[in-house]
Amino acid sequence: MITLEIKNNIAWVTLNRPKKQNALNLSMFIELDKIIKDLKKDKTVRAVVLSGAGGHFCSGLDVKSVVNKPAAIFKLLFKWLPGSANLVQRVTLAWKDLPIPVIAVINGNCFGAGLHIALGADYRIAGPCAQLAIMEAKWGLCPDMGSGVLLPGLINQDILWRITSQAQPISASNAKEYGLISEIHTHTAGAVTALLDSLLLRSPDALAAIKKVNNCAYSANRRQVLSLETWSQLRLLINKNTRIAMQNAAKEEIKPYIPRSKW
């Protein structure tokens, strides 16, 4: 459900589950993780283009395929040390660890896990009809895919609070204004080609060095953020208000929340 095609030293990585708007299940996380590791070893690859098949980038996590399977949740969230990246965090942050430019092409819906993954790219080129959202709050959860490391380098804190707490889609134009995407183009394929042509004029070693320095300049305390993301999510997964939020999100019935826990 993830396809990889390397052509003319460009890696084209595609989320390929169009009937589900490329919603991510456990196997797709595992595939992405492996692809990123393989690309890191391939010194002939000059750039990566990440996109979704069909009319959407990614509608987010395939909740039904994961939530009722404790083993799947364990595989997604397990880490050896608190500050290390787990599987869901790796498929966001590992794009930054690649010593080559990564371009995310965003069309249609780019929600939840899909947006987190796109945030790991170095460029985000969106179509004018794209819709973006961080959705965890809808389900009573907090973002936990590593974007907490990246977002402070992209947007202001009030905007960060707004998009992570409201869990509402925003337009491509608003996302561009906020700093979530780099450019908006009606013909995203042409924009990607132009960007690749420009990047391929540069030394691959120069680009690798520039990316490493830029990542260092914009990085937060990575291990502390990753630890807090996962610890907070684990607490929320056993929280009574999370169960209420999930029922409310599924519109089974709207129930009031109980008083919050001590944080």
CA neighbor of 112 nearest in space, from 178, 184, 158, 56: 56
Phi-psi region of 173 (alpha: psi -120 to 50; beta: other; left: phi over 0): alpha
- Whether residue 62 lies inside any domain: the answer is yes
- Domain holding 30, by residue range, is 2-199
Handedness of CA 89, 90, 93, 95 (dihedral sign): negative
Q: Which long-range contacts (CB under 8 A, 24 or more apart) does 161-166 make?
A: 163/133, 163/134, 164/134, 164/136, 164/137, 165/137, 166/137
The one-digit pLDDT tens for each residue of the chain (263 residues) are 999 999 999 999 999 999 999 999 999 999 999 999 999 999 999 999 999 999 999 999 998 887 778 888 889 989 888 889 999 999 999 999 999 999 999 999 999 999 999 999 999 999 999 999 999 999 899 999 999 999 999 999 999 999 999 999 999 999 999 999 999 999 999 999 999 999 999 999 999 999 998 888 887 678 888 888 888 988 998 999 998 998 898 887 788 999 988 88
pTM for the predicted model, two decimal places: 0.90
Residue 18: inside a domain: yes
Is 73 domain-assigned?
yes
Residue 74 lies in a domain: yes
Q: Is 22 inside a domain boundary?
A: yes
Length of the chain equals 263
Q: How many domains does the chain have?
A: 1
How far apart CA 139 and CA 22 sit, in angstroms, is 19
